[in-house]
Amino acid sequence: MINEFVITATRSMTDYASRVAEQLSKFLTSPAFSSRYEMTGDPGGINGAGILSTDRFADGEMEAVVNTSIRGKAVVLFTSSARNEAGIGVEEAKIELYHTVDALKRSQAERIIIFEPFVSCSRSDRTFRRSSVGLWVHYKILVSLGAAHIITYQLHSDKSKSILDPTLCAIDDIPAMTLLKRYLCDTSIMNLETLKNVVRTHWAFCSVDAGGEKLARGFANAFGAPLVVAHKQRDPSKVNTVKSINILSAEPLEGKILWIVDDMVDTAGSVESLVRALAAHKPAEINIMAVHALFSPPAAERLNRLTQEGLLNRLLVTDTIYCPRTIFTEIPNLEVVPSVELSAKVIEAIVSNRSMNKLLRPFDAEIYLKSPNLFNQDYRSGAGSSSPD
């Protein structure tokens, strides 16, 4: 069990960290916990506010500063290098993270736990050409600076976890797809009768490509519905360009409700091509689910175009990446599923030295619907709500 701990954040995730801390305070109600738990109102405050701040030299160089004593305490540091509430770019966000870990280590933090819901360099995990491996570089820097534990949601590849030496730094990759599965149960299915008579006969889950079959199969197994696999051929001469798509399905797709499953939506080039390919099979509707909402241009334009043409019905993502209110205008059918409660439960398990097996086990819709609202999730509250209001 961790004796004393604090929660803080780099500037990119101050609001998210505050909401996690608020949720965590509901779990850690015993005097034993409250006496050793600290959270400032502004965890990543600038110019002296909060646990952390950043200073700038005249030439633009950065320094991270720890504004309170953390000697002998464990520090849970939330951070993001993707689109964020502070509007900080990828490079600056990473540099701030590295400086912050160094400052925490020099302040004699007992243990530094990095909570990075989306690792922006996670797709740079292969060595098939003469290029750097961004994920390895990121891990290497964090570990060498003193990070003892890294927590993230839905890494792009299972093999990415093998980059990290567990004797030097622990890693927990939490399957955030469970958030989307629960959301479907709570908002669209709601009872066992619908699961058995509608979902299992009229729904199907589709991978975005052959590599994503495992993710889609997880949904198919969880809901007892058919699996569809899309096999796409990329144009090797162009980035993010799909040459052709073959749809593999054991049964006809006409009249079915299709759910495309992926770990992230970046420029939406792949999903646009796949939606158009699936539309030719005349399904009742096509929906998209993804954990990480990167939405790099021209994603919003492509997704909105699919919606306007009547090809895309719903788009479900989580709030592992900050979604400003303007996105709901650009993508009107967007639904954002909050992850704050899950993050709080992960931290609770770590500081209590309890097993996280309950958070990691495969999701079963039938079991969940027999005991609904297992996590008492409120999708209508907070910045991670499913609507801009």
Question: Which amino acid would we find at residue 200?
Answer: R
Given a cut of 50, is residue 208 above it in pLDDT?
yes
Given a cut of 90, is residue 171 above it in pLDDT?
yes
Cα-Cα-Cα-Cα torsion 29, 35, 36, 37, nearest 10 degrees, comes to: 50
Nearest to 258 by CA among 269, 242, 274, 240: 274
The larger pLDDT score, comparing residue 164 to residue 199, is at: 199
The answer to whether 186 touches 239, Cβ cutoff 8 Å, is: no
Residues in Cβ contact with 289 at an 8 Å cutoff, skipping those fewer than 6 apart: 180, 219, 259, 260, 261, 262, 315, 316, 317
| Lowest-confidence pick of 42-56, 137-151, 162-176, 317-331 | 42-56
150 half-sphere exposure, CB direction, 13 A CA radius: 33
Mean pLDDT score, 339-367: 92
Nearest to 350 by CA among 87, 128, 89, 27: 27
Given a cut of 60, is residue 163 above it in pLDDT?
yes
Question: Which amino acid would we find at residue 110?
Answer: E
| Lowest-confidence pick of 105-109, 321-325, 348-352 | 348-352
Given a cut of 80, is residue 323 above it in pLDDT?
yes
Given a cut of 80, is residue 219 above it in pLDDT?
yes
pLDDT category, 381, cuts 50, 70, 90? very low
pLDDT at 240: 53
Q: In what order do the strands lie in the sheet with 315-318?
A: 242-249, 227-234, 203-207, 257-265, 285-293, 315-318, 334-337
Q: CA-CA distance, 232 to 368, in Å (whole number)?
A: 34
Residue indicated by tokens 């019905």: 313
CA end-to-end span of the chain, whole Å?
A: 39
pLDDT at 385: 45
The larger pLDDT score, comparing residue 146 to residue 47, is at: 146
pLDDT category, 377, cuts 50, 70, 90? low
- Write the DSSP assignment of 316-343 as a string of letters: EEETTS---HHHHHHSTTEEEE--HHHH
pLDDT at 27: 75
Residue indicated by tokens 């736990």: 113
Q: CA-CA distance, 218 to 224, in Å (whole number)?
A: 10
pLDDT category, 238, cuts 50, 70, 90? low
Q: CA-CA distance, 196 to 217, in Å (whole number)?
A: 18
- Helix, strand, coil percent values for the chain (each to nearest 5): 35, 20, 40
Structure tokens at 216: 């889609």
Structure tokens at 167: 């004797």
pLDDT tens figures, 80-95 = 999 999 999 999 999 9
Largest Cα–Cα separation, the chain? 66
Domains and their CATH numbers in the chain: 5-174 (3.40.50.2020), 177-338+358-370 (3.40.50.2020)
pLDDT tens figures, 260-283 = 999 999 999 999 999 999 999 999
Phi (first) and psi of residue 220, to 5 degrees:
-60, -45
pLDDT category, 44, cuts 50, 70, 90? very low
pLDDT at 345: 93
pLDDT at 352: 85
Given a cut of 70, is residue 328 above it in pLDDT?
yes
